[in-house]
A and B are shown apart, each in its own frame.
Chain A
Amino acid sequence: MRQTGKWVGLGYYLLLLLFLQLPILLLIVFSFNDSVLLVFPLKGFTLQWYRELLQATELINAAKNSLIIGLVSSVVATVLGSAAAIAIARYNFPGRAFFLNIATLPLVIPYVVLAVALLLMFQALNVELSLWTIMIGHTIINMPYVMLIVAARLSGFANNLEEAAMDLGATYWGTLMRVTLPISMPALVAAFLSSFTMSFDEFSLAFFLAGTQNTLPVYLYSQLRFPSRLPLAVTTAAVVIMVSVVILLFSEWLRRIGTGRVPKS
């Protein structure tokens, strides 16, 4: 009975794995295919698309923008989200539940609604759309994730280490810098990395809030309409996929350290 279950389970796992991975592999395979058309049979191996990628200045520019937006919005989200996390994990204050509700609200709002709201506000205040407006949008959606990841870490250990530091004469902010934050470091790094990947990939907010400068997903989207540019889009996809996988494996590793308990000794 249990043996059968095991084999059926394994079979199902492999099927689902195939279903989930095949489309991704397909993109990678086509990025090496010597043809403009994305069809089988494959025409032969080429690095032409990768060479063209290096010369596509618009695309490289878009990637640079995504990188800048990703870095800035993740740093801001990590700082703000961590401050919020310390507040909710270490203090019981009136309005705590209200704050938690508001702060996690961006998690449950469809991005298109948030994008529209921000767009209308910037328009009403005559703020010109730029990389900054996208950064603000991405910071808002990343803050709750950072807050929950860091708060989970902080809830994982009692604050007696912090109390000990203060008993020994450290100031509160000194303790925060030298005890609380170092203990939270794996969570902080994981939160930062997941914010970054989220921002780097995010399309809807960037689409609404972009000025003259595009992000990588917005640029890619604009290319999808032209069949002749598909190979380049697919090749970009392949590069992004490979980079994402490396970042993911790294952050997954950190997260596992991050959610583990602090050694007692």
Chain B
Amino acid sequence: MENKRRLFTLITPPSVFLLFFFMVPLVIMALYAFKSSSFGPLFPLSLNAFNNFFSNPAYFVLLINSSQLALLTAVLSIVLAFPVSYYLVFYTGSRRVMLLTLLILPAWISYLLRVLAWKVILGSEGLLNQLLLATGLIQDGAPILLYSQAAVLITLVYVWIPFAALPIFAAMERIDPRLHEAAADLGASPSVTFWRVTAPLTMPGVASAFFFVFIPTLGEWVTPTLVGGVSGIMYGNLIQDQFGRALNWPLGALMSMVLLVLVGVFSYVFNRFIPITEVPVSS
């Protein structure tokens, strides 16, 4: 009884906050998708936004396109982060945390500023173009990368490498070194040890890296706006547009719902295989 009251006191404030500022807004967003116009009353419900959305294949194409880009971003970030985590964990001894901290320092710097840095690098007067001009690889000064999907990809991979490295590093660090010794004692070659011991044990880290890069990238709109230009826009830009220039809130709400459902299905399936958030009770 006593215990129940304590638990109630602890859990009520965060629950109420989550209810009012997280669950309720999501429900309201779902209702908004049925409104006939941005302003005005909710009733009568209308399927305008649905008709608009489902009769326009361009929206779907962009959603698929953005999913592919998010997938590519996640895979590339992991491919680049994996070897460095491996090196740090298995080759650098006690200095590894210091070296990792140094490597992922940029992750703590404002996202917008890191994107700005790439805008500067990829621009027509930017570092990359100057370098290519100086080496004679290109002749004119047109930016070869800025305002393209490639620019968005490069910038996003840059932004996400540190976040991919962290969980992979953590997973590798948890591997008991005695397992490697045991494998070697039993006659496994280094490559067999890697594929049969290290890789499987690192998988949860790789999976959570994938998860935490893929999802935010899917809703990305700032990076495409800054470095992607017209050809580099993503699904997130569509949503943002409905609340800016296009001013079509019901459609924007529906587009957000679609993204939410997509992310929800993905998270659910993903979580079945690899539980991301597990907290043990220690009492």
Residues of A within 8 A of B (CB): 1, 5-6, 9-10, 12-13, 16-17, 19-21, 23-24, 26-27, 30, 37-40, 79-81, 83-84, 86-93, 96, 99-100, 102-114, 116-121, 123-124, 136-137, 139-140, 143, 147-148, 151-152, 154-155, 157-159, 172, 197, 200-201, 203-204, 208, 217, 220-221, 224, 230, 233-234, 237, 240-241, 244-245, 247-249, 252, 256
Q: Would A241 and B121 count as touching, CB distance under 8 A? A: no
- Flag the segment in B54-62, B109-117, B143-151, B197-205 that touches A: B109-117
A residues less than 8 Å from B281 (CB atoms): 88-92, 96, 155
Secondary structure of the A side of the interface? helix
Q: Would A112 and B236 count as touching, CB distance under 8 A? A: yes
A residues less than 8 Å from B50 (CB atoms): none
Residues of B within 8 A of A (CB): 2-3, 6-7, 10-11, 13-15, 17-18, 21-26, 28-29, 32, 80, 83-84, 86-88, 91, 97, 99, 101-106, 108-114, 116-121, 123, 125-127, 130, 158, 161-162, 190, 211, 215-216, 218-222, 226, 236, 239-240, 243, 249, 252-253, 256, 259-260, 263, 267, 276-277, 279-283
Roughly how many angstroms separate A234 CA and B111 CA in the complex, as a whole number? 13
Q: Would B130 and A39 count as touching, CB distance under 8 A? A: yes
Identify which of A140, A234, A252 contacts B22 (C-beta below 8 A): A140
The distance from the CB of A249 to the nearest CB of chain B, in whole angstroms, is 8
The distance from the CB of B235 to the nearest CB of chain A, in whole angstroms, is 9
Q: 3 closest pairs, A vs B, by CB?
A: A110-B219, A9-B87, A23-B117
Identify which of B7, B84, B108 contacts A244 (C-beta below 8 A): B108
Roughly how many angstroms separate A152 CA and B17 CA in the complex, as a whole number? 22
Give the most central of A17, A110, A137, A234: most B CB within 10 Å: A110
Residue contacts A-B, CB under 8 angstroms, 15 given: A16-B103, A16-B161, A20-B106, A21-B106, A24-B109, A80-B14, A109-B263, A121-B28, A140-B22, A152-B279, A158-B282, A217-B110, A220-B112, A220-B116, A245-B105
A residues less than 8 Å from B211 (CB atoms): 108
A residues less than 8 Å from B26 (CB atoms): 117
The distance from the CB of B278 to the nearest CB of chain A, in whole angstroms, is 8
A residues less than 8 Å from B263 (CB atoms): 108-110, 113
Give the most central of A117, A148, A217: most B CB within 10 Å: A117
Roughly how many angstroms separate A224 CA and B118 CA in the complex, as a whole number? 13
- Of all chain B residues, the one with the shortest Cβ separation from A80 is B14
Q: Would B109 and A244 count as touching, CB distance under 8 A? A: yes
Q: Would B215 and A108 count as touching, CB distance under 8 A? A: yes
Q: Would A21 and B219 count as touching, CB distance under 8 A? A: no
Q: Would A116 and B118 count as touching, CB distance under 8 A? A: no
Give the most central of B6, B87, B263, B279: most A CB within 10 Å: B279
The distance from the CB of A160 to the nearest CB of chain B, in whole angstroms, is 10
- Of all chain B residues, the one with the shortest Cβ separation from A24 is B106
A residues less than 8 Å from B102 (CB atoms): 17
The distance from the CB of A155 to the nearest CB of chain B, in whole angstroms, is 5
Give the most central of B7, B113, B215, B267: most A CB within 10 Å: B113
The distance from the CB of B181 to the nearest CB of chain A, in whole angstroms, is 14
- Of all chain A residues, the one with the shortest Cβ separation from B226 is A224
Q: Would B84 and A16 count as touching, CB distance under 8 A? A: yes
Q: Would A148 and B29 count as touching, CB distance under 8 A? A: no
- Of all chain A residues, the one with the shortest Cβ separation from B98 is A252
Give the most central of B2, B105, B127, B267: most A CB within 10 Å: B105
